[in-house]
Amino acid sequence: MRANIRDARGNLIGYTEELQGNVKLRDHRGNLLGSYNTAENKTRDAKGNLVGTGKQLMRLL
């Protein structure tokens, strides 16, 4: 499932995609910014570095 993320003016700045318990954050061009693994309860950036525990994808925008 895809959920668009828009700024105050309505411009698309990114979107999330959920598949099999994982959520991926992509910018408006489709570049991967990070992911959240629900089984581990950890958020990682595009390079795999730990951002934190819990769903913190919006910190990567």
**Is the predicted pLDDT of residue 53 greater than 90, yes or no?**
yes
Q: For tokens 């693994």, what's the residue?
A: 37
Sign, CA dihedral 20-25-27-32, equals negative
- Do residues 48 and 29 lie in contact, with contact meaning Cβ atoms separated by under 8 Å? no
pLDDT in tens, 13-47: 999 999 998 999 999 999 999 999 999 999 999 99
Q: pLDDT digits over 4-14, tens only?
A: 999 999 999 99
| Domain regions of the chain by residue span | 2-53
Q: How many angstroms from the chain centroid is the CA of residue 39?
A: 16
Kindly tell me if the per-residue pLDDT of 57 is higher than 90: yes
Distance separating alpha carbons of residues 27 and 5, to the nearest angstrom:
9
Report the pLDDT value the prediction gives residue 43, as an integer from 0 to 100.
97
